[in-house]
Amino acid sequence: MSALAQLKLLISLAQIDGKVAERERNYITNIGRANGVPLGDITALLDQRHALIIPKDLSDDQKFEYIFSLVQLMKIDERMYKEEMLFCSKIAENLGYENQVMFELLLHVKAGIMEKDEIINLKEITQKHLKK
């Protein structure tokens, strides 16, 4: 199930600085619940370490959701650590994106709620950075 894989990646990113902040915890919980993952399962996942596994059969839309949610989570606590950026860059590369995609994402992703047209525009920009 790709929702669980996505949650595990988000949790791994949140754990980089040593603790999962409340805002990060809430963000991860909201994504899990939106994807039908029971709250008890999400809570259990938050207290574990996870292997970095990216499903191989993701659609372009799913790849975007993965990288978008990772960058948004990285920005949510208003501090970006070098380790977090390296983590996101590594995941983006594993998803099949060129390195420049992180520059675009860091420029355009907001920590708060983004309008639907902003997300659509960002998806179009990131699509150009998918390796063929």
Domain boundaries, the chain: 2-127
The alpha helices in the chain, defined as continuous H runs, are 2-14, 22-34, 39-46, 60-76, 82-95, 101-108, 116-127
Let me know: does 8 contact 70? Beta carbons within 8 Å: no
pLDDT tens-digit readout, 52-75: 888 888 999 999 999 999 999 998
Taking the C-alpha atoms of residue 87 and residue 81, their distance in angstroms, rounded to an integer, is 10
Neighbours of 15 (CB within 10 A): 15
Q: Is the pLDDT reported for residue 80 higher than 80?
A: no
Q: Taking phi first (over 0 means left), then psi (-120 to 50 degrees means alpha), and beta for anything else, what does residue 96 get?
A: left
Residue 98 exposure: Cα atoms within 13 Å on the Cβ side: 11
Tell me the pLDDT band of 37, cut-offs 50, 70 and 90. very high
Tell me the pLDDT band of 77, cut-offs 50, 70 and 90. confident
Query: Looking at domain 2-127, which CATH architecture does it have?
Result: Orthogonal Bundle (1.10)
Taking the C-alpha atoms of residue 104 and residue 116, their distance in angstroms, rounded to an integer, is 17
Q: What is the mean pLDDT of residues 22-32?
A: 93
- Please tell me the pTM assigned to this model: 0.86
Let me know: does 109 contact 34? Beta carbons within 8 Å: no
